[in-house]
């Protein structure tokens, strides 16, 4: 592993959702994953609670089983109204991007088991406890997602690709049983971890800030 | 504004929750905030939905009113079981850190209105819609919190300090009315934005990775 020596801004603007450019044939050292996780631990948590857990799956049989559940969830997602090509219907300029996102996601779903490692970040407590107020949800998720994104950014600096997914949560219970995750723990996401094919990633096209920035008044 | 030219790892490990070292007397240019927000827009979102909004408050009267609500929420938080010094009771080595966190949080609560700008990131849809499954929650929050953390990291690179808070969400409705935020939008957090007094921030003490890393099995 050699670091890419990206600047802060470069890593923040070129850490893409990597799917087709994951190199499934190159092993990933556990030491690099741990290095990224140690950086992730520097992310903030509410009241400095640090109520997080990180499950790394490298066992092929377990990856196969998780990937099979992911594929099942993906098949339903493809038919759902939140699928990429169903969004931004009001903006024809987004059509091509959304079709590319879907194609890329289909590729990942078909190949998830080939990733050298899968990371499932978790937080303590159930986020789906009935009637949790918005503040509890923002506080719980806001105390794990920064660490997840830090992990992905640190991974990018080390030539690794990641992609934040949530579809396996449709089978969270099955995955919890497979990995021995306790009942009072919430899985938050799943990302494959693999070195990338090449390290030249471009800034993504995004809808302009003007449409989503509100100063003093909505 | 001059950039600090931090490395990717430096920015990820030294972006602290800044409270006592916020410089309330130095104005923050709106152009720098916009620069950080444009970097934030490069964060990932589920299905590339980009269903985010960013409210920046610089108007003193509005900051005063938000800060007053924050203080009210903080007073209740100080008595609550999730307050910093009530956590990590099983680990006496954390006592000093948690007392420092509380003291720092008290300072911020008392001085929130003095920050040159407040940022309230939002997502479309209500995260507290009854009976949302875990996947919907992780997907909604996972599509805004990375952008918020990116904003904070980009701010750090520019000498700005931030601190991710959620307490004002106890008065989300009042803040929504004050700022004209529509009913179907969820506020996610609040962070003050100010230049920092000095830019030498150290890596934070954290509980070790060994206690929260699980490989193939919990």
Please compute the mean of the pLDDT values over residues B56-74 and round it to a whole number. Answer: 98
Buried b (16+ CB within 10 A) or exposed e, A169-201: bbbbeebbebbebeeebbbbbbbbbbbbeebeb
Residue B136 placed within a domain: yes
Q: What is the largest CA-CA distance in chain B?
A: 53
Q: Can you give the pLDDT at residue A169?
A: 98
Q: Is A80 on the interface with B (CB under 8 A)?
A: no
- Tens digits of residue pLDDT in B91-138: 999 999 999 999 999 999 999 999 999 999 999 999 999 999 999 999
- Tens digits of residue pLDDT in A142-188: 999 999 999 999 999 999 999 999 999 999 999 999 999 999 999 99
Please compute the mean of the pLDDT values over residues B44-56 and round it to a whole number. Answer: 98
- Tens digits of residue pLDDT in B135-159: 999 999 999 999 999 999 999 999 9
Q: Is B68 on the interface with A (CB under 8 A)?
A: no
> Considering only CB atoms, which chain A residues are within 8 Å of B212?
41, 50, 52-54
Give residues 153 to 182 of A whose Cβ lies within 8 Å of B.
153-154, 156-157, 163-164, 166-167, 169-170, 172, 179-182
The enclosing domain of A14 has a CATH number of: 3.40.109.10
- Tens digits of residue pLDDT in A122-131: 999 999 999 9
Please compute the mean of the pLDDT values over residues A34-52 and round it to a whole number. Answer: 98
- Tens digits of residue pLDDT in A100-123: 999 999 999 999 999 999 999 999
The first and second tokens of residue B99, run together, are 């007392």
Q: Which element (helix H / strand E) includes A185? A: strand A185-187
Distances (CA, A) of A40 to A76, A162, A169, B35: 32, 14, 22, 24
Residue B213 placed within a domain: no
Burial class (CB in 10 A: 0-12, 13-18, 19+), B131: exposed
Interface touch B206/A34, C-beta < 8 Å:
no
> Considering only CB atoms, which chain B residues are within 8 Å of A109?
none
Q: Can you give the pLDDT at residue A21?
A: 98
Range of lowest pLDDT (A5-19, B21-35, B79-93, B117-131) = B79-93
State percent of chain B over pLDDT 70. 100
Chain B residue with minimum CA distance to A46: B165
Q: Is A46 on the interface with B (CB under 8 A)?
A: yes
Residue B84 placed within a domain: no
Interface touch B87/A49, C-beta < 8 Å:
yes
Contact present, B129 and A128 (Cβ < 8 Å): no
- What band does B2 get if pLDDT is binned at 50, 70 and 90? confident
- What band does A1 get if pLDDT is binned at 50, 70 and 90? confident
Domain tally for chain B?
1
Range of lowest pLDDT (A37-46, B7-16, B53-62, B86-95) = B86-95
The first and second tokens of residue B172, run together, are 């989300």
Which of B78, B134, B180 would best serve as a mutation to test chain A binding (most A beta carbons within 10 A)?
Answer: B134
Interface touch B206/A59, C-beta < 8 Å:
no
- Tens digits of residue pLDDT in A59-98: 999 999 999 999 999 999 999 999 999 999 999 999 999 9
Residue B110 Cα to chain centre, angstroms: 17
Burial class (CB in 10 A: 0-12, 13-18, 19+), A4: middle
Q: Can you give the pLDDT at residue A2?
A: 87
Residue A109 placed within a domain: no
Instruction: Write out the residue range of the structural domain in which residue B27 sits.
Output: 8-58+116-199
pLDDT at residue B1 tops 80: no
Residue B95 placed within a domain: no
Q: Is A111 on the interface with B (CB under 8 A)?
A: no
Residue B151 placed within a domain: yes
CB atoms within 10 A of CB A15: 26
**How many contacts (CB atoms, under 8 Å) link A and B?**
278
Residue A172 placed within a domain: yes
Comparing CB atoms, the residue among A16, A130, A189 nearest residue B142 is: A189
| Alpha-carbon gap: A160 to the closest alpha carbon of chain B (Å) | 14
| Cα gap A111→A163, rounded to integer Å | 13
Interface touch B139/A166, C-beta < 8 Å:
yes
Residue A213 placed within a domain: no
Closest CA to B197 of B11, B10, B16: B16
pLDDT at residue B211 tops 90: yes
Interface touch A8/B157, C-beta < 8 Å:
yes
């Amino acid at each position: 592993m050699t670091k890419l020596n990206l600047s802060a801004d470069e890593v923040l603007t070129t850490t893409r959702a990597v799917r087709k450019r994951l190199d499934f044939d190159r092993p990933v050292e556990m030491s690099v994953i741990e290095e990224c996780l140690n950086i992730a631990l520097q992310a903030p948590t509410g009241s400095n609670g640090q109520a997080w857990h990180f499950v790394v799956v490298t066992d092929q049989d377990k990856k196969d089983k998780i990937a099979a559940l992911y594929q099942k969830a993906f098949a339903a997602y493809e038919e759902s109204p939140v699928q990429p090509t169903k969004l931004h219907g009001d903006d024809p300029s987004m059509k091509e991007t959304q079709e590319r996102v879907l194609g890329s996601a289909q590729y990942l779903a078909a190949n998830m088991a080939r990733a050298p490692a899968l990371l499932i970040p978790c937080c303590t407590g159930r986020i789906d406890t009935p009637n949790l107020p918005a503040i509890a949800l923002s506080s719980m998720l806001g105390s794990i997602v920064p660490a997840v994104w830090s992990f992905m950014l640190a991974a990018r600096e080390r030539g690794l690709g990641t992609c934040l997914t949530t579809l396996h949560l449709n089978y969270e219970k099955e995955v919890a049983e497979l990995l021995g995750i306790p009942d009072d723990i919430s899985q938050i996401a799943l990302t494959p971890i693999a070195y990338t094919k090449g390290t030249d990633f471009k800034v993504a096209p995004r809808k302009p800030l003007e449409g989503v920035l509100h100063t003093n008044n909505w």
